[in-house]
Chains A and B, each alone.
Chain A
Amino acid sequence: MKVLVTVKRVIDYNVKVRVKPDQSDVDLANVKMAMNPFCEIAVEAAVRLKEAGLASEIVAVSVGPAACQEQLRTALALGADRGIQIDSGEAPDPLGVAKLLAAVVAAEKPDLVILGKQSIDGDNNQTGQMLAALLDWPQATFASALALEAGRLRVTREIDGGLQSLELNLPAIVTTDLRLNEPRYASLPNIMKAKKKPLEVKSPVELGVTLKAHTRLLKVEAPAERQGGIKVGSVSELVEKLKSEAKVI
């Protein structure tokens, strides 16, 4: 079984995000970048399938400029077999990414595509769903457990108010939630070996995809600073303030 796993280069979660002075975007100049944490979970899920003898090949795909080869190398160090960078320039919006991925899927013919449920920069939570729609494949989003039995995929999903269990036919799309697994650290020997694994670069043109901006970024603002709280003297004062000031009850 071939597994395709997607990897996005995003701002490192340890970095304090700053807005550019002209508010045109988040300031990424000279900022530490890393693999999106949900993508790490996706890679880990794929590697575990391979270690269990259920997957035979893992292809890691990233959409973005040449710099995202760094994250593909990380995926290769974690256990992916080869990488594909789709050289799209700056990251397209989710629909553009989904179309590019659909074209890669058409060429690679994987049995399973695992994506992070969202990326910590855009937080759109759309690419996996759009890819499923474009391919007309079954999808299981926000997976917190994943099992492959007799060619069928059993996925536990985290939904509001509980867990939902799904059974899917392959090929299928899975997007990962935080609790699906705890990603491993890449080992030093595997970091060394990752350099020698194949990494292919493809352009949107080669994939027959014309990218179109469906959304326009107008302005980015830092969230308002949190105001200090106040201490109330009694429950009745609290209720009064919730009614008159917070206007929530």
Chain B
Amino acid sequence: MSDYVHPYRDTEFVLNELVELEGFCSGAGLNEVNGELVSAILAEAGRLGSEVLAPLNAIGDTRGARLSERGVEETPGFAAAYRQFQESGWPSLTAAEAWGGQNLPNVVGTAVNEIWHSANLAFALCPMLTQGALEAIAHHASAELQAAYLPKLVSGEWTGTMNLTEPDAGSDLAAIKTRAVPNGDHYLISGQKIFITWGDHQMTDNVIHLVLARLPDAPAGVKGISLFIVPKFLLDAQGNPGARNDAQCVSLEHKLGIHASPTCVMSFGEKEGAVGYLVGEPHKGLACMFTMMNHARQSVGLQGLSISERAYQQARQYARERLQGTRKDGSRFPIIEFPDVRRMLLQMKASIEAMRALALVAAAEVDRVTHAPDPAAAARHQGRVDLLTPIVKGWLTELAQEVTSLGVQIHGGMGFIEETGAARHYRDARILTIYEGTTGIQALDLVGRKTLLNRGELLAGLFDEIGETVARLESAAPFAVQARALGEALAAGREARRLLLEGAEGDAALAGSVSVNFLMLCGYLCGGWLMAGSALRAQALLEAGGDRAFLEAKLVSARFYSEQLLPRTQSLLAAIRAGSGSIMALSDEQF
């Protein structure tokens, strides 16, 4: 038995009951996409994940990527696994048919990506970055560049990277220094980029870097940044990789986790200058990056779910097998029988189910924009995507810290021992609240651009929808207690929104002071909303004679969530109510 098995039943429950995928697809004219096809896709992805990618997780941790004379050498076994992954067509899942893609909905791609990230987070980062690169090219590059690069990125024959960060430009991209100088039909790029995930490897015969740089006449700040394609190997007349471009990985970072994912320091233009091609308009690079930001941020949120699921499966297995109790008759029993171990397992399980529901519902909103019947509907759904994206990224990845930590805790002393593997998930999870915008950045996005900028309209719409779920719970007999819990959490959300809107004008530090607590409150509330929706559907299916074991467990997860996780909204509200006073009170020296 594999040590990772995709929980397809929960995924299908969310897709069928919360996303209502089939109805959406037939409404959107995607008639070929139905539950049967999605099951077949998930089953085959699950097999590849369990049998090919998951077994490489441990070796990837102990024998991470290395730098040699020919560049970055990936973990042994990764190249063969990548070839299998690529030849099976998985990179093409959501891409447009024109570029060789399968044109499947984003939410199906998200459900499948959960598998890759659970099976092997470090490996799955490579196709994840490729998808980001190909989206930037698909949305913004010229037809010529698209024709040259998209088919190979869609097929996965080449991989892509995103080169944003520099030593002095992390969260503050305005400080980017990398330069791009026009040179005939292309530009010469020079500068150094850091933290470039999968910036080099030997698995494919080209790597396509997307690089943010400044043109000579660029205005200062973020309005002077342009986006360039810089291939590892320049394309020859036939479009095949030819001469080596002046873009190298010069060193690899030593990291806490995801050791198999090479985190590169990239040097562009050390010799003659790296040949690059402008994507989109000059000085509009950041806007190009933002179109894929929603996707990348949701993808990292999804990683929070994935690593939590992997940690849960391992902890559950251990709790079932580890004999540490003795009955009166002298027989031994496993630790899963101890109430506190059950609490920890259930907390992991309930958290994961809420995370999965939110990740997939948010991913489906992206499809609802793409396939909206009219511009008003598209704008409405885009508003929801904008609102949910920082919550998915911030809340899921923060929750993953707690879930993977519980995974270690359940193992007791063995959890602290690397060979057990539980610590690996805990270490791998730690990057998730940091890259692709830290939790703090997500929270600022949520309170600023997504709330204050629209006077809380987007949140009000979401809260009204949650209010409808509260009403549905109230009218369903078995859910009176859960209705009250969700109602109280919703009231906390509304109060937090009011405090933010009213307090932000008079206190410049308020929004930043309350932002992470605000994000977490919204996360727990959204999770509670979708778990309540899950409970209502599970009850209906149970009454219709559905799968008892699964549906009854779902009802228990939802109940546990409302009892043990939803009340956290109240303490978060208390912290928000406290405002910025103590946070801003100390001088820098007093810290």
Residues of A within 8 A of B (CB): 14, 29-30, 32, 34, 70, 73-74, 77, 185-192, 194-195
A30-B550, A195-B37 are contacts. A188–B93 as well, Cβ < 8 Å?
yes
Q: How far is the CB of B112 from chain A (nearest CB, A)?
A: 9
Choose, from B21-29, B81-89, B420-428, B499-507, the stretch at the interface: B81-89
Residues of chain B within 8 A of A185, CB atoms compared: 44, 47-48, 52, 84, 88
A187-B88, A188-B90, A188-B93 are contacts. A14–B2 as well, Cβ < 8 Å?
yes
Q: A30-B549, A188-B88 are in contact. List 8 more A-B contacts (CB 8 A).
A: A14-B1, A70-B39, A73-B40, A77-B44, A188-B90, A188-B93, A188-B102, A191-B44
**Which residues of chain B from 69 to 106 have any CB-CB distance to chain A below 8 Å in the complex?**
84, 87-90, 92-93, 102
Complex: A148 Cα to B32 Cα, angstroms: 39
Residues of chain B within 8 A of A32, CB atoms compared: 8
Question: Do B87 and A187 touch (CB < 8 A)?
Answer: yes
Pick the contact of B89 from A30, A74, A188, A194 — CB < 8 Å?
Answer: A188
- Least CB separation from A16: chain B residue: B1
Q: How far is the CB of A235 from chain B (nearest CB, A)?
A: 31
Complex: A185 Cα to B36 Cα, angstroms: 18
Q: Specify which of A185, A189, A194 lies most central, judged by the most chain B CB atoms within 10 Å of its CB.
A: A185
Question: Do A70 and B1 touch (CB < 8 A)?
Answer: no
Question: Do B47 and A192 touch (CB < 8 A)?
Answer: no
Q: Does B341 contact A (CB under 8 A)?
A: no
Question: Do A30 and B102 touch (CB < 8 A)?
Answer: no
Q: How far is the CB of B410 from chain A (nearest CB, A)?
A: 21
Question: Do A191 and B547 touch (CB < 8 A)?
Answer: no
Question: Do B37 and A192 touch (CB < 8 A)?
Answer: yes
Q: Specify which of A30, A73, A74 lies most central, judged by the most chain B CB atoms within 10 Å of its CB.
A: A30
- Least CB separation from B47: chain A residue: A185
Pick the contact of A188 from B2, B39, B50, B92 — CB < 8 Å?
Answer: B92
- Least CB separation from B51: chain A residue: A185
A30-B550, A195-B32 are contacts. A189–B5 as well, Cβ < 8 Å?
no
Residues of chain B within 8 A of A77, CB atoms compared: 40, 44
Question: Do A191 and B1 touch (CB < 8 A)?
Answer: no
- Least CB separation from B551: chain A residue: A30
Contact with A along B532-553 (1 / 0, CB 8 A): 0000000000000001111000
Complex: A195 Cα to B89 Cα, angstroms: 16
Complex: A62 Cα to B101 Cα, angstroms: 32
Q: Does B174 contact A (CB under 8 A)?
A: no
**Which residues of chain B from 10 to 60 have any CB-CB distance to chain A below 8 Å in the complex?**
32, 36-37, 39-41, 43-44, 47-48, 50, 52
Question: Do B84 and A189 touch (CB < 8 A)?
Answer: no
Question: Do A70 and B92 touch (CB < 8 A)?
Answer: no
- Least CB separation from A189: chain B residue: B89
Residues of chain A within 8 A of B36, CB atoms compared: 70, 73
Identify 5 residue pairs between A and B in the complex whose beta-carbon atoms are under 8 Å apart, listed by A's number: A14-B50, A73-B36, A77-B40, A185-B52, A188-B90
Question: Do B44 and A189 touch (CB < 8 A)?
Answer: no
A30-B550, A195-B37 are contacts. A189–B92 as well, Cβ < 8 Å?
yes
- Least CB separation from A78: chain B residue: B44
